[in-house]
Every structure is written in structure tokens, then in C-alpha cells.
Amino acid sequence: MPVAGSYRPCPVFPALGPEFFDVVAPARFPLHRLRHRDQRWAARIGLETLDAAEWERHFAAFAPLPANLTAPLALRYHGHQFRAYNPELGDGRGFLYAQLRDVVDDRLLDLGTKGSGQTPWSRDGDGRLTLKGGVREVLATAMLEALGVYTSKSVSLFETGEMLFRGDEPVADALVGARCVSATRTSASARSSATRYPNERTELARLLDFVVEHYGPRRRPTDTPAGIPRRRRARGAPGSAPSWMMAGFVHGVLNTDNMNVTGESFDYGPYRFLPTYDPEFTAAYFDPHGLYAFGRQPATVEWNLEQLAKALSLLGPRPRPRGGARAVPARVRAGAGRALSRARSGSPPAVPTTTRRSAPPSFSSSPRARSDTSSSSSTGTGARRAPRGRSRARRRAHYAEPRFAAVRRRLDDHDPLDPARLGAAYYQRPRPCTLLIDEIEALWDAIAARDDWSLFTSNSPRSRKCAEHSGSIRIRRPRE
């Protein structure tokens, strides 16, 4: 049986019209070597019954799925890169392969590719993805999902057997980036970059209607066109910047085309997880001024979505929220931050013993000390009734200094979300699961030097084991 009975194809994007995409052909690769298959998420889209040959046929050769898109589509869009407007963006090394419904919650999901060949929007690029880039993205999506971040999911990764060329010379096998890979991910798409033609109202209105119909939120009688993405931004904010901040995650390249108005996080290039709390920490070496530094991510998300609102203002006046233009974003960030802080620390709202504060402190309110972001959130699960085991005592000792006194007092005002969970083996570890850059590099070195995948195959499940900690994190996609 090629697909499961729960498989629900929903190829709606072609109805937008040819102004929004180019029909493309996938590259033909000399090798199809499976490196990653997420069977759990395959089941979420009704594809868990595919055998190895069928999986290869659909996710390496990109043969059409039943009753789905008959050919891949490279999407057209425009937007800002490092706040400079670029009208010639679009899918340059990937395409929309299929659309289907999430078995669990009926979301419309795209199956999109990365490294699947050149398109009309490659702009002299080779349309390929390095093997290291593919490995890093699998690790990022697994870790972020475990930490409760609303993220895309890496479904499949095939090594292609190609040498990567840059300029006139091939990159040597021993160097990073020599080997290539083709990746496929699920994504609740609806890029915030809007349509490629910002001055063509007809196409813009059609795109807006499409997004509202298929991705929500439902239109209200009082909505103006520019008000809909503003409201979606308020709904989706807990799935993007606030959750990155609580996860200690730095996306790296928050250009407008790397954002979804659904609030889903996706497209992980030069990301980093913070080794210690530092608002100025920058992930990308090509961001020397720190435009997309850790502490600037909430403001960047707001700036990006303001550009979308400006484009949509061609269809009608932009709403002016009460209390000033920045009142609503500030309230959204504050509310989302409180909710996520409670979730990450394992301390839900409870009747406080000595204070009225409704949430434990977030990193932004912690002292400007070199505190370990992963340990601080894990230690927070101690709250008032934490077990006093030796491992926990070691972690708590890290925050025994006087400058953390206010943080400790606020945590002690809250009961743990699930006291029984605090006795789990995960919480007795000396340290929580992490995915710091030196750990990624060690994993990659084994692959590059010896073609040793043991760390990767053990790390992908290990990232999911972080869910033992995030099992207390009940963060889901934004509700309508």
C-alpha cells in the first residue's frame, strides 16, 4: 500500500494562479542514500506505510504523491534581506512538492524541499544543499520541537552523491560542504513576504484571501486587510520570537522570507543555541553588526511584519491600535513571554505564597551573568517542592550567588507543574540535553572524517529525549 488510509492530499496552491509560481523539474541525483527518515511525522501526514523503495521514489526522485501536485512549484515572492528590499527572491534551491492535511489537527501542511536543484530563482546558485547544512537542520528541528517551539519538521534527508562546486574548482571531499543532500520538511507555510509584485492589487488581494482561507485567522466583519496579518501576528507570536528567547535559540538570518505569518519557525542556516545568556550573541558570521542578535529577535519579527502590513495597506488603511503603534506588540511579547517562562520553568500560575507575580522570571529579567540558559530553565522546575537530589543540588548551587536571589525568590513562589515528573531520570542528570555548536561540530567531524554516522543517529533520538524535560511544556501551535 503506497500511502496510509489517513493520507489526505490537499493541493490548493495552484488555484492561486501562475503569477505565484514556476513549474520546475527536480534535479536528477547520481545517488539516493537515506540519512534520515522521521517516521513519527510521516504518520502525521499519512505516509508512514511507504516502504524503502517508495520513500526513495517520492523523497529522492520526487515522483508525485497520489492525487497531489503533478509537478513541483518554485514559489515567487519578494522581501527584505538584512532590511534591504529585494524584488527578485523566490525559491532558489527548493520547491513546493506536495500539500496535505495533518492527521492530528487538520492543518494544511506543505512538503517543501531544500537542495533539490536549480529554479528560475537560483540567481547563479547551484540549487544544492551541503550535507552539513542538512544535518544541522535535522538537529535544529528535533531540538526545537523537544523544547516546545512551533517549528517545521525535517521529514527526510537523502545524500545525493554529488560534489559541490563553487566557482571553477570543486570543493575537496575533506572540506565542509563537499557532499550534497536533498532535504524535505513539513511547513505550515504562508511566508510574510507576500507576493512578488507589491504594486499589483489584484494579485495581492487574491493572496490575502488564500492565506485567510487556508491558514486563518478567520476574517472578522471589522477587519481591514492590513489588520488580518496584525491579528495573525498576535496569535502567532508565541510560536516564534518568544519561544526562541525561552529556548536560548538564535535563528541567525531573520530576513522577511524566513518568516511565516502562521508563527511557525523554519529554515535553519547559521543558527546557534546560547552557551550562556548574552543578548548580543550573534549566530551568523556575515552579520558583523549583530542585526539578528539574540536579544534583537523580537524587535526584528515586529519590523518584518510591519513591512508586510505596509504591503497590505495597498488594499486598505492600516489599523491604529489603541495606546500607540507599539502597544499591541509589547503586550503580545509580554504575555507570550510570561506563558513561555512558566512553561519552560515547569511552574504554572499558582497561588503565590509571598507575591502577586504571575510568572517566574525569564532570561530577560535575569542578571546579566554568564548563566547557562539550558540549566536555568531546567533548574526552574525545582520551584517550591523540588526533590533535593545530588544532581539538582549541583545545578541549584550554580544560582546560589547573591545576584540570583531575586530569581530564586520568584521561582519559589510557584508550585511545580507536575511534582511527580521531577523524580524522572532526566532531572537527575548533571546537565540537560543541549545542542551547542561544539557538540554539532563534534558530530559533523565524525561524519566528515570517517563517514561515521553513529553520533547523528543517536543524537536525533537523543534530541527527542529532551521531551522528557519538555513533557511539562504544553506549547502548541497558535489557536485561531
SS3 at position 23: strand
Annotated active-site residue in 38, 257, 372, 415: 257
CB 154 within 8 A of CB 138: yes
Backbone angles phi, psi at 79, to 5 degrees: 165, -165
- Rounded CA-CA distance 344/352 in Å is 18
91 an active-site residue? Answer: no
CA angle 58/60/92 to nearest 5° reads 105
The H or E element that residue 394 is part of is helix 390-397
CA-nearest of 279, 297, 446, 453 to 371 is 279
Angle at 289 between CA 287 and CA 293, to 5 degrees: 70
From the list 255, 232, 236, the residue with the least C-alpha distance to 309 is: 232
Contacts of 15 (CB under 8 A, 6+ apart): 210
Cell of 191: 511566508
User: Who's near 59: CB < 8 A, 6+ residues apart?
Assistant: 155, 156, 158, 182, 184
Q: Using CA atoms in the order 200, 203, 208, 214, what is the torsion angle rounded to 10 degrees?
A: -160
Contact 73, 21 (CB under 8 A): yes
For residue 256, report the phi and psi dihedrals to the nearest 5 degrees.
-65, -30
Catalytic residues: 257
